[in-house]
Structure 1
Amino acid sequence: MKFTMTLPKQFNDMTVKDLLEKEWLVPRKVRHFIRTRKGLLINGKTCHFQDLVHSGDQITVFVEAEDYPKRTILFGDSTLIDPLYEDEHLIIVNKPSGMKTHPNQPEEQDTLLNHLAAYLAPDCQPHVVHRLDKETSGAILFAKNPFVLPILGRLLEQKKIFRRYQALVYGKITQDLTIDKKIGRDRHDRRKRRIDPKGGKTAVTHVQVAQIFPTQTAIFCQLETGRTHQIRVHLASIGHPLVGDPLYSKKAQKRLMLHAYELHLTHPFTSRLISVQALPGLWK
């Protein structure tokens, strides 16, 4: 496999070693192979790990297939993929409600990851960067190669991937607010999470009111953290569960009214802003 990247204008000079280890998070074993095989070129020329790289340099990295072994992913239906953005390193797709992000058992082949594997074959294989609940629809990011996967994972951890959700809740929320209640596992139902002030993990959700209806409110949610079921648990905890939530609301509806409407990030190799909306969303 060969990966070619041009360092962006804002790039600070550093050694090849630091580029691979600290900037691109290449695993130690793979860094060793790159060094011993002389598998990195700067502007088409071989180099040493202590050489400096600069803004505008073209970096070419060669790795062997065994450095990043492929997993077995059964192919699904490629026609079910709705791409919102795609380049040689990553892809953002619009996930429908009712579809799992990835399989939990090897024999499953009706998840988004299965369908995306069929869509990308035979050129590359998708890798999960983050997840959406089965009932949640909208924009979701995948890596198209294992080289970029840890870099995207770090951007997610550093809150440099912006995600904005649409939601419809029961009751009236009359003003914007922030919910910062800790979330932990529900000891009585393994599927659920609950507010846990003592043993839970920090969770922060910003809520912006979009439109107030007689018995419901349309809102936008922005996450500072990415806990399982965070939006669903937080809103249920203040008496405004999501419409159609099968776990945290007792009122049956066709679907969970939660949609990952916007996703923004700065491309790690080009520094170009990528901004997508997953249309049509829950409302226009």
Structure 2
Amino acid sequence: MAERIVKEAQVPFEYANQRFDQIATELFSDFSRSRIQSWIKDGVLLVNGVAAKPKEKLFGGEMITLDVELEEQSDHDAQDIPLDIVYEDEHILVINKAAGVVVHPAAGHQDGTLLNAILHHAPETASVPRAGIVHRLDKETTGLMVVAKTLLAQTDLVAQLQERSMGREYEAVTIGVMTGGGMVDEPIGRHPHNRQKMAVEPIHGKDAVTHYRLIKRYHHHTHIRLKLETGRTHQIRVHMAFIQYPLVGDPQYAGRLKMPKGCSEELQDALRSFKRQALHAKRLELTHPATGEWMEWEVGLPQDMQHLLSVLENDLRDVADADFI
């Protein structure tokens, strides 16, 4: 069912002699400037019931009205794919994404994606850009994502991301033993020689900030918690590799698998069989786009990361026992 938006507002007299599109953007601040301008041009955003040009000056006291039924934005198919839903109401959907799930259709992944599943579960998202997906996780990264079910929610959540007020925390396992936590503040852009990868790019990259702290050090690895200020593609993976602590199992940024000296056969088997980056979006915090309530969710680590950490614990204990003997 398509989403219908009906709104009206009277122009304050202090806005006199300002442009129609500027006033409408102020009064209907739930929506982006570009969308407001599009509605004006389409003749669904009116002044005193009459279409007006975006640059037309208003006097104050006019009534601005909006009555629009949103058209479907997605031409992708709805598919009955199971979703692990953590929270849902009429405005937002919070999902715990599994490993191996592509978020958005692209070359080589036209169906079977999270977007296809969302369209089936919440058909109203067909009228929201990208079916309400406002941020992404890499195919092999697990954990929490929020999806907007309405245009109002989508606009608000995008603004929270841009303002860096949405909290996103991850857990990861790195190769190498860190001495302490810290921050990586390095711009990220497309890799100059490999278009499938991202890289720290001081000149052409966009600002990217990642905070990390230690949870536990192992004999050859470190379990860490990370918090993002920005949301660049592959940000955590690129930043950790840049400081020489790439993520376990990362096929693009960790290089060829090297076995730590003296590690147990159990750990060797665990590392060989871990075929994805050891990264999980564990915690999500945001302001609810409709109620203004601050909301928080947290989900446990997936089974494969739990097993990896268990094996690392065993390896650490075996090394400690050997040292004691």
TM-score higher than 0.5:
yes
* 2:144 alignment counterpart: 139
Q: Distance in 1 between matches of 2:89 and 2:242?
A: 40
Q: Check 1:110–1:50 CA distance in 2 against 1; reply closer, same or farther (3 A cut).
A: farther
* 2:79 alignment counterpart: 76
Q: Check 1:145–1:268 CA distance in 2 against 1; reply closer, same or farther (3 A cut).
A: closer
Query: Which residues in structure 2 correspond to 1:181-260 (within 5 Å)?
Result: 181-249=186-254, 250-251=256-257, 253-260=274-281
> Is there any run of 5+ residues in structure 1 with no aligned partner, and where?
6-13, 39-48, 53-59
Counterpart of 1:89 in structure 2: which amino acid?
Answer: H
| Residue of structure 2 aligned with 1:100, choices 99, 102, 105 | 102
Q: Check 1:20–1:151 CA distance in 2 against 1; reply closer, same or farther (3 A cut).
A: farther
* 1:277 alignment counterpart: 298
Q: Distance in 2 between matches of 1:106 and 1:245?
A: 20
* 2:286 alignment counterpart: 265
Contact (CA 8 Å) 2:47, 2:62: kept in 1 or not?
A: no
Contact (CA 8 Å) 1:95, 1:138: kept in 2 or not?
A: yes
Counterpart of 1:96 in structure 2: which amino acid?
Answer: A
Q: CA deviation at 1:62?
A: 4.7
TM-score, normalised on structure 2?
0.70
* 2:264 alignment counterpart: none
| Residue of structure 2 aligned with 1:33, choices 8, 28, 44 | 44
Query: Which residues in structure 2 correspond to 1:1-20 (within 5 Å)?
Result: 1-2=3-4, 17=24, 20=27
Counting aligned pairs with the same residue, the percent is 34
Q: CA deviation at 1:267?
A: 1.1
**SS where residue 70 of structure 1 aligns?**
coil
Q: Distance in 2 between matches of 1:109 and 1:94?
A: 19
Contact (CA 8 Å) 1:74, 1:107: kept in 2 or not?
A: no
* 1:22 alignment counterpart: 29
**SS where residue 241 of structure 1 aligns?**
coil
* 2:177 alignment counterpart: 172
Q: Distance in 1 between matches of 2:246 and 2:209?
A: 16
Aligned residue pairs, count: 255
Which structure would you say has the larger RCO, counting Cα contacts within 8 Å and 6 or more residues apart?
Answer: 1
Q: CA deviation at 1:275?
A: 1.1
Q: CA deviation at 1:193?
A: 1.3
Q: Distance in 1 between matches of 2:109 and 2:180?
A: 47
The structure where helix makes up a greater share of residues is 2
Contact (CA 8 Å) 1:21, 1:28: kept in 2 or not?
A: no
Q: Distance in 2 between matches of 1:273 and 1:169?
A: 32
**SS where residue 141 of structure 1 aligns?**
strand
Q: Check 1:50–1:105 CA distance in 2 against 1; reply closer, same or farther (3 A cut).
A: farther
CA deviations over 1:69-109 (Å, ceiling 9, x no partner): 3322212233x201111111211111111111110149822
Q: Distance in 1 between matches of 2:121 and 2:156?
A: 23
Q: Distance in 1 between matches of 2:280 and 2:174?
A: 12
Contact (CA 8 Å) 2:209, 2:228: kept in 1 or not?
A: yes
* 1:11 alignment counterpart: none
Q: Distance in 2 between matches of 1:136 and 1:151?
A: 25
Q: CA deviation at 1:150?
A: 2.2
Q: Check 1:255–1:107 CA distance in 2 against 1; reply closer, same or farther (3 A cut).
A: closer
Q: CA deviation at 1:226?
A: 1.2
The alignment's C-alpha RMSD in Å is 2.9
Contact (CA 8 Å) 2:250, 2:275: kept in 1 or not?
A: no
* 1:86 alignment counterpart: 88
Counterpart of 1:245 in structure 2: which amino acid?
Answer: D
Q: Distance in 2 between matches of 1:94 and 1:4?
A: 33
**SS where residue 108 of structure 1 aligns?**
coil
Counterpart of 2:132 in structure 1: which amino acid?
Answer: H
**SS where residue 29 of structure 2 aligns?**
helix
The structure where strand makes up a greater share of residues is 1
Q: Distance in 1 between matches of 2:154 and 2:202?
A: 33
Contact (CA 8 Å) 2:48, 2:62: kept in 1 or not?
A: no
* 1:130 alignment counterpart: 135
* 1:120 alignment counterpart: 122
Counterpart of 2:73 in structure 1: which amino acid?
Answer: K
